[in-house]
Amino acid sequence: MSSGFDYDLVIIGAGVGGHGAALHAAHYGLKTAIIEAGDMGGTCVNRGCIPSKALLAASGKVRELRNAHHLKSLGIEIGGVSFEREAIANHANNLVSKIQGDLTNSLKRLGVDIIRGWGKIAGSQKVSVMTDSGDKTITAQNIILSPGSVPFVPPGIEIDGKTVFTSDQGVKLESLPQWIAIIGSGYIGLEFSDVYTALGCEVTMIEALDVLMPGFDRDIAKLAERVLITPRDIETKVGIYAKRVIPGSPVVIELADFQTKEDLEVLEVDACLVATGRIPATKNLGLESVGVELDKRNFIPVNDSMEVLSSGELVPNLYAIGDANGKMMLAHAASAQGIIAVENILGKNKTVDYRSIPAAAFTHPEVSYVGLTETAAQELGLAEGFEIGTAKSYFKGNSKALAENEADGIAKVIYRSDTGEVLGVHIFGAHASDLIHEASAAVANRQSVKDLAYLVHAHPTLSEVLDEAYKRAIAS
C-alpha cells in the first residue's frame, strides 16, 4: 500500500483487539507487524474469557450432575459426583495453550510479523520497541494501539496473589477456599461465584453500590439474584465496601458503609477475589510524543472510527481500539473495533455501532443483553421525544425450556412505542448467550417489533421466547 515505510500498519498489543485488526489488515494485503510484550492473545485468551469459560463449563457440569432434584424430575438418578480441582484447572490451562497457539499461528500464516517487546510511539508514524536484543525503531504508515487493560484494585486492598487475588490469578484455580469473599458483583464477581459455589465453596459477595449487579437491567438483575444468588451458598453485603483487605490466613477484611464511610464489621475469610473493574493499560506508550493526552480515567480518547483525538482534533494515522479506549470492555467489541480501524485505514468510512454489540455473563443460567436498558431507553426517549414500550416473556411458558426443566428465565424487549424499533433486549435463562444474537441482528438493522413479531421460529425451541416477547409487544 504505502512506500517509504517499514510497514503499512504496526499494531501495539496482540490481544483479541490487535489480533482482529491484524487479520483484517493482512487479508487486505497491508504489510503488518504486531508488537507484544507479554503473552500472545492478551487478557481474553490467557487470563479472561477463555480460562474463565473453561472453569464455568466444568463447574457447570458438576452443578448439573449434583442437582439430584433436577435430575430426578427428568427421571434420572445417579450416584455421587466427584471432581478434581487440579484436573479442572488443567482443562483451563490446556485450552489457553491451545488457543494461544492457534492465534499465533493464524498471524504467522497470513504473514504478519510478530515482534516481541515493549512498543511505544516515538513520534508521528514511528514506533520504538524494546526487545531482548536491544531497542529498535520502525516506521509505519498507520499505527493501531491495542494495549488493553489490567484489574483495578481499590486503595486499601493488598494483593498477594495467593489469599487475596484478582481474576488474573483466579482463573488458575490454584485452590478452592472453603469461604471466599468476592468484592464486586459485576461480570467477574458473578461468573466466579458461579464457579466457586458449584465446586462447594461458601461465598460472601460485597457490592459497594446499593444493588447487586448494578450494570444490568433491573428486571433481569432481580430475577438473576433470585436464581443465581439467593438459593446458593452466597451471603451478600450490599452498599458496603471493603475498606482494607489484608492477605494471610485468615484474610482480614474491614467493611464500611459505602455512603457514610462508617466502619461496620471485620470479616475473616479463607480467601478474597477482588473483582472491582478494570483500568486501561495506557502508561508508557509514548503518547506525549504525538501530543495526545489520556482522558480523566486514563483511556485513550477516540471517535467512533477509532481515530485517536488530541483536544478533540484527529491525530493523523493513529488509532486506538479495545479495552484501552474504554468504549466497551469486551473481547468481540475489541476485535470489531480493530476491523473498523483497518476499514478506515483502507479509506472506507466506517463506524462502530455499539448499540448492536451483545454481551453475556456465562453463569448457569446465563445473562445476556444487547442495546439499551429500560432506564437508558427512557432517558433517550425523553431527550428525543418518544415513548418507550416493554414486553416480557417467560421461559416457564416455553415448551423447550419446560422439556429441559430449565424454566427459570425471562426475555425483555424494549422498543419505541411509535415506530416499534427495538432499542434493547435482555435475556436471563438457559442459553441466553446464544439467544441474544437474533436480537442483536434486529438492533443492528433497526428493525421494528411490528415486523419481528411475524418471523417464524422453529418449534419447540428456546428462541420462541423472543418470538413470544415480540408478539406481546405488538399486542400491547
By CB under 6 A, the residues from 134 to 163 that bind ligand NAD are 154
β-bridge mates for residue 236, sequence order: 205
Beta-bridged to residue 388, according to DSSP, are 416
First CA to last CA distance, the chain: 56
Q: In DSSP terms, which residues pair with 320 in a beta bridge?
A: 145
Strands (E), 152-201: 164-165, 179-183
Q: Which is nearer to ligand FAD, 367 or 401 (CB)?
A: 367
Q: Does 188 help bind ligand FAD (rule: CB under 6 A)?
A: yes
> In this structure, are residues 149 and 277 in contact, taking their beta carbons and an 8 Å threshold?
no
**Closest distance to ligand FAD from the beta carbon of 332 (Å):** 5
Buried/exposed code over 81-110 (b: 16+ C-beta within 10 A; e: otherwise)? eebeeeebbebbbebbeebbeebbeebeee
d(CA 14, CA 8): 17
Please pick, from the candidates 14, 89, 183, 443, the single residue that binds ligand NAD as defined by CB under 6 A. 183
**Which residues, numbered 56-115, are part of the site for ligand NAD (CB under 6 A)?**
none
Q: How far is the CB of 282 from ligand FAD (least distance, A)?
A: 8
Q: How far is CA 360 from the centre of its chain?
A: 7
Write the DSSP assignment of 353-399 as a string of letters: -GGG--EEE--SSEEEEEE--HHHHHHHHHHHT--EEEEEEEGGG-H
Among ligand NAD, ligand FAD, none, the one that 186 touches (CB under a kind-dependent 5 to 8 A) is: ligand NAD
Judged by beta carbon distances under 5 to 8 A according to partner kind, the member of ligand NAD, ligand FAD, none in contact with residue 183 is ligand NAD
DSSP 186-197: SHHHHHHHHHHH
Q: Which does 13 bind (CB under 5 to 8 A by kind): ligand NAD, ligand FAD, none?
A: ligand FAD
Smallest gap from Cβ 167 to ligand NAD, in A, equals 7
Query: Binding partner of residue 118 among ligand NAD, ligand FAD, none, CB under 5 to 8 Å per kind?
Result: ligand FAD
Residues 274-313, one symbol each (x = binds ligand FAD by CB under 6 A, - = not), give -------x---x----------------------------
Nearer to ligand NAD by Cβ, of 240 and 453: the residue is: 240
The interface region with ligand NAD, picked from 34-42, 84-92, 180-188, 441-449 by CB under 6 A, is 180-188
> Interface residues with ligand FAD (CB under 6 A)?
12-18, 35-39, 42-44, 47-49, 52-53, 118-119, 146-149, 167, 171, 188, 281, 285, 322-324, 329-332, 334, 362
